[in-house]
Structure 1
Amino acid sequence: MTATTRKDTPVAIGGGGVELRTREIGGELSVAFVQLPQGADLRPAMKGLTDDLCQCPHWGYMLKGRLKMVTKDGEAVYEAGQAFYWPPGHAPVALEDCEYVDFSPTDDFTAVIDHIASQG
């Protein structure tokens, strides 16, 4: 069995109040601890991916704030206290300061993180 805490999980993306910490946990899955400040819009970081959107599925729980998830078919808002599933094809925009934890397939998530890191 494997466990980790936010503090013990390395930062994969950080800056401007955005913090994404991730660690492989359970073999083919990774856990991410994410903090986004109000106004953070990750759509520009997704440019160049299929449909200019994150192509990794995520299952998780909103700990704090409100987040708008933009897809090619529209938008949905998620808020603290909600469990979620985000299928491939999305980009987050923080409506308030947000914190959430999610679980994703490691290979898919690593590809997205590498793409975002190469943008800036």
Structure 2
Amino acid sequence: IIGVISAVLIFGSLVECRVPSGSKLNNFDYTAINCRKHSAILTDFGAVGDGKTLNTKAFNSAITKLSQYANDGGALLIVPPGKWLTGSFNLTSHFTLFLQKDAVILGSQDEADWPELPV
């Protein structure tokens, strides 16, 4: 029963959000707990969703860029359809990582792509 109540409270507080026109994803709609004031798409940072190209630098660049908006409504990083190979990256507060339908994040099998990250 507690799980059902929690689900109702969480899903009952979801809102419809829209990425504003003028971006590459004109009027892109998504459902979230909080709408984000700023947004970007992973490919803006050089990512390639072919399942072979390592995209760790693109994820890190996007997160670093978007984290500057933490005190201004937060930010949304949209991961478009594709297979996005990556090593480790840190997410930040007031940040939404949104995977579109058919977007898959693949973890690199190379141990060198998984350095210990600062806490």
More helix by share: 2
Higher relative contact order (CA 8 A, sep 6+): 1
Q: Give the structure-1-normalised TM-score.
A: 0.29
More strand by share: 1
Q: Give the structure-2-normalised TM-score.
A: 0.29
